[in-house]
Amino acid sequence: MKIIKLDSESKKDILENLLKRSPGQYEKYAKTVNEIINEVKSQKDQALSYYTKQFDKADINSGNIRVTEEEIKEAYSLIDPSVLEVIRKAAYNIETYHTKQKQYSWFDSEPNGIILGQKVTAIGSVGVYVPGGKAAYPSSVLMNVIPAKVAGVKRIAMVTPPDKDGKVYSGTLVAAKEAGVTEIYKVGGAQAIAALAHGTESIKKVDKIVGPGNIYVALAKKAVYGHVSIDSIAGPSEILVIADETANPRYVAADLLSQAEHDELASAILITTSKEIAEQVSIEAAKFTEQLSRRDIIQKSLDNYGYILLADSMEDAIETANEIASEHLEIITRDPFLVMTKIQNAGAIFLGEYSSEPLGDYFAGPNHVLPTNGTAKFFSPLSVDDFIKKSSIISYSKEALKPIYPDIVKFAKAEGLTAHANSISVRFES
Amino acid sequence: MKIIKLDSESKKDILENLLKRSPGQYEKYAKTVNEIINEVKSQKDQALSYYTKQFDKADINSGNIRVTEEEIKEAYSLIDPSVLEVIRKAAYNIETYHTKQKQYSWFDSEPNGIILGQKVTAIGSVGVYVPGGKAAYPSSVLMNVIPAKVAGVKRIAMVTPPDKDGKVYSGTLVAAKEAGVTEIYKVGGAQAIAALAHGTESIKKVDKIVGPGNIYVALAKKAVYGHVSIDSIAGPSEILVIADETANPRYVAADLLSQAEHDELASAILITTSKEIAEQVSIEAAKFTEQLSRRDIIQKSLDNYGYILLADSMEDAIETANEIASEHLEIITRDPFLVMTKIQNAGAIFLGEYSSEPLGDYFAGPNHVLPTNGTAKFFSPLSVDDFIKKSSIISYSKEALKPIYPDIVKFAKAEGLTAHANSISVRFES
């Protein structure tokens, strides 16, 4: 990994380079995606059948699109029992953590008969997209489904592309069953998003769509946004490590590579105040890379979006971390909690030398669906919040309305809305 | 207003008719909007100047785009002191209510050294769009800005189109100052959204954009979504009243018209179990309409999207209300709180005969920026939640990681991610 002096110029270049990975650059696929969505809207199941044949080479129709109980049973028979056990432990931890995120309806009242508050209700139905093939991660199923279940969503429909024999990967099916999915459909791509957003004969429309996918899936989600709700649009993975001279360079190097292996657009950045750490991490990263099975992906990712930045001070390191707003941020310093207080923007913050990022990917409980590509400045990790909505509660008595009604009438008239004024004053006409 | 028997067929027709109002139908403007955004991205202030001349007939440049302290002082001298007083009372109520929405960072710890939690931080900078001209509602400024202020947003930049003399309506400026806006710029339309999203010489980029606008503004917000965050896309206003035989038909009629006056696409629906109430509300609505200044808009809105639905039972009425998912829902029945418990989908719920909807528009405190056009099934009122974001907090000790590290390694290997496995196992190499 290259070592670069952190200054305002190098920072500007790096921020620009990282933003090149944004899915906003791929608008050329939007036309295809819109065509697929319109076809599914008008031809429904028939269009799903057509596109699944074209893109996944599988024969899917209204009769076999939904995964059966028998197929799920078969999946359980195929899975390594020790992996199943880890899935269950992870599911337990994820459920425990997300249960603590639950929000409750509240109200406040005044003795003159005013009640104001917010009613919290679960979203009625949710669609979860799960990528097919080699990108089929059971952990991703757990992370997307369990928060919906904890929120109280009644209907959770999963879609995932089948292989050419019309099968879905057993790990995906088992994770779906364990997490509490109510329906599973063998369809992927933009056509699956269109089916969830608009409904077909086999797949009932949902209220919200979540889950990661390729560029077609991401663009389809953006296209149906507003008609249904969506989670934030996922970008390539990132890690940023802030380390001082107390850090273990082997740990830092291993953690950087754990993100770099995700894909060639992944970014791994170390910001350190120690020249020695910078040099040792660079050496260790090179050594590890040679031994790892995904070394080609790692090497490309590091060449394009990997940096070791040498900062003059911890303040500079933190300021830069806030500007980058990384998906994952590890703080491996003498006093990580002190540094944490100064962090404004990050998806997940890992504190101390034993809080390795993959701990959060699989096991600890917090969600691994995190804001990427600088969006931690305004987006949050996927959470129970994403599966609830709120309604304002407003109740006034006559006693409460009477003293203030002239004010409301005045405000309404000042805005030229006389029917608004009338709806208040009619209550006090003699 | 027409009285229709509520059954599955009439319900289907009405739901379809209401959805015709969706901004999704207006994609034909998208090309113009994308051109404007690209121009502002490359030509910055110069593009803002060009479009403001073209659309608003005003001469705006880098030297005069920002509203000065003198202009704000002048606005205060122009405003009716009694209106200013009502603005201040409303601002106080809005701030009081929204302060109760604040969310706090939390953590949970276990004695073996596990700390998990969420850190809540305010979004750094927010842009607020405020429409110009006759649609300039000071209440809208308060409702969009105060929650951001309560959340702790440091930079709140307002944009609003000037009149042809380069002036901004005094009520807007005063409300902005009272609410705590830090910067005001004289620019509107898609060009203003582009400036907030991408930055120009005069207007620094923001992290999130909120506020209502016309179709160009709505499409521009959708286009920049992902690069920045946005609030939900606003549609035409709606009211739905559930009333039984105890309701006062004059109150119900006046409340229906208060939404119908907003614009020709607004919808006003009564669902009642009482034939007598249905008939009397229809008569009262006709009488009021004749007396009201915006009677032409009201009449068109009622003709196209106004309904009085006669339901066989309160259960049917409630079920239909949940399917329509109205922006505003009034419950004027013998026991409104009992009905409220069965409401799944509504932006704001007004209970009892003195909780007239305009009370919520101006004064009570809850936000008047609400999900429209059925989106209350998955969106919430604008709130402090919209101006914060969360970061996961994960800290494990060596003692905590040691017993579970083989599980994480197993899960990572099962997903084929050996660099993930390595970043855990390196911590326990001998």
Compute the distance between CA of residue A346 and CA of residue A344 in angstroms, rounded to an integer.
7
For a pLDDT cut of 70, what percent of chain A falls above it? 98
Compute the average pLDDT of residues B254-279: 95
Q: How far is CA A123 from CA A183, A329, B110, B143, in A?
A: 16, 31, 32, 25
Which of A294-308, A337-351, B133-147 is the least confident region? B133-147
A100 contacts B106? CB cut-off 8 A: yes
* Other beta carbons within 10 Å of B34: 16
pLDDT at residue A25, rounded to an integer: 57
Indicate if the pLDDT at residue B64 is higher than 70: yes
Percent of chain B with pLDDT over 90: 84
Percent of chain B with pLDDT over 70: 98
Query: Please, what are the domains in chain A?
Result: 3-22+235-364 (3.40.50.1980), 26-230 (3.40.50.1980), 397-428 (no CATH)
Query: What is the residue-wise DSSP string for A269-321?
Result: EEEES-HHHHHHHHHHHHHHHHHSTTHHHHHHHHHHHEEEEE-SSHHHHHHHH
Q: Would you call A345 and B121 a contact, using CB atoms and an 8 Å cutoff? A: yes
Distance from CA of B344 to the nearest CA of A (A): 6
Residue of B nearest to A336 (CA): B395
In the predicted structure, residue B219 carries a pLDDT above the cut 80: yes
- Using a CB-CB cut-off of 8 Å, the residues of chain A touching B383 are 118, 390
Check B207 against A378: CB less than 8 A apart: yes
Q: Does B251 touch chain A (CB under 8 A)?
A: yes
**Given a cut of 80, is residue B25 above it in pLDDT?**
no
Residues of chain B in contact with residue A89, where contact means CB-CB under 8 angstroms, are 404, 407
pLDDT in tens, A171-205: 999 999 999 999 999 999 999 999 999 999 999 99
Amino acid A407: pLDDT: 87
Q: Is A392 on the interface with B (CB under 8 A)?
A: yes
Interface check A370 vs B, CB under 8 A: yes
Is the predicted pLDDT of residue A359 greater than 60, yes or no?
yes
Q: Which residues of A touch B87 (CB under 8 A)?
A: 411
Whether the pLDDT of residue B134 is over 60: the answer is no
* A159 CB-contact burial (10 Å; exposed 0-12 / middle 13-18 / buried 19+): buried
Asked if B361 lies within 8 A of A420 by C-beta distance, the reply is yes
A222 touches B: beta carbon within 8 Å: yes
- A74-78, A234-238, B124-128: least confidently modelled range: A234-238
Q: Is B279 a catalytic residue?
A: no
Tell me: pLDDT of B301 over 90: yes
The verdict on B66 touching A (C-beta cutoff 8 Å) is no
At residue A291, the pLDDT reads 93
User: Shortest CB distance from A366 goes to which of B392, B423, B427?
Assistant: B392
Q: Give the residue on A whose Cα is nearest the Cα of B20.
A: A227
Q: How confident is the model at residue B135 (pLDDT cuts 50, 70, 90)?
A: low
CA A130 to chain centre: 12
How far off is chain B from A344, nearest CA to CA, in Å?
6
Contact B401, A347 (CB under 8 A): no
Instruction: Say yes or no: B42 contacts chain A, CB-CB below 8 A.
Output: no
Q: What is the pLDDT of residue B26?
A: 64
Pick the range with the lowest mean pLDDT from A155-164, A308-317, B93-102, B137-146.
B137-146
- Residue B119 pairs in a beta bridge with B391
Q: Which residues of A touch B106 (CB under 8 A)?
A: 100
Task: State the pLDDT at residue A152.
Answer: 98
- Kindly state the percentage of chain A with pLDDT values over 90: 84
CB atoms B389 and A398 under 8 Å: no
* Span A28-57, average pLDDT: 95
**Tens-digit pLDDT profile for residues B231-250:** 977 778 899 999 999 999 99
| Structure confidence at residue B290 as a pLDDT band (50, 70, 90) | very high
The pLDDT assigned to A200 comes to 98
The rounded distance, in Å, linking the Cα atoms of A383 and A100 is: 10
The verdict on A134 touching B (C-beta cutoff 8 Å) is yes
CA distances from B136 to A167, B2, B140, B173 (A): 57, 32, 8, 10
Inter-chain contact A119–B233, Cβ cutoff 8 Å? no
The pLDDT-based confidence of A26 (bands split at 50, 70, 90) is low
Residue partners of B92: CB distance under 8 A and separation at least 6? none
Which pLDDT does position A23 carry in this prediction?
60
Helix (H, G, I), strand (E, B) or coil at A32: helix
Q: Known binding site: residues of A?
A: 129, 191, 214, 237, 259, 262, 328, 361, 415, 420
Catalytic machinery residues of A: 327-328
Q: What is the mean pLDDT of residues B20-41?
A: 84
Pairing mode, strands B114-122 and B106-110: antiparallel
CA pair distance A233, A219, nearest whole angstrom:
9
Sign, CA dihedral B348-B351-B357-B363, equals negative
* Closest residue on chain A to B368 (Cα): A392
A4: its two tokens = 């670069």
Q: What is the DSSP letter of B403?
A: G
Which of A137, A300, A356 best tests the B interface by mutation, with the highest count of B CBs <10 A? A356
Question: Based on the number of CB atoms within 10 Å of its own CB, is A376 exposed (0-12), middle (13-18) or buried (19 or more)?
Answer: buried
- Residue B129: is its pLDDT beyond 70? yes
- Residue B331 pLDDT > 80, yes or no? yes
Please indicate whether, in this complex, the C-beta atoms of A396 and B364 are within 8 angstroms of each other. yes
ipTM for the whole predicted complex goes beyond 0.90:
yes
pLDDT of residue A214: 86
Residues of A with Cβ-Cβ distance to B238 under 8 angstroms: none
Q: What is the mean pLDDT of residues B253-266?
A: 94
Angle between helices A275-291 and A249-260 in degrees, nearest 10: 50
- Per-residue pLDDT, B215: 86
When comparing pLDDT for A309 and A361, which is higher? A309
Cα distance from B135 to chain A (closest Cα, Å)? 8
How does residue A134 score in pLDDT terms, banded at 50, 70 and 90? low
B78 touches chain A (CB under 8 A): no
Q: Which of A80-94, A397-411, B129-143, B346-360 has the lowest mean pLDDT?
A: B129-143
- Compute, in degrees rounded to 10, the torsion defined by CA atoms B153, B157, B158, B163: 170
Q: Nearest-CA distance from A148 to chain B in Å?
A: 13
Q: Is residue B172 within 8 angstroms of chain A, CB to CB? A: no
Q: What is the mean pLDDT of chain B?
A: 94
- pLDDT (tens digit per residue) in A155-166: 999 999 999 999
Segment A357-368 mean pLDDT: 90
- Give percent helix, percent strand, percent coil of chain A, each to the nearest 5: 50, 15, 30
Q: Residue A270's pLDDT is what?
A: 98
DSSP reduced 3-state for A84: helix
Tell me the residue type at A66. R
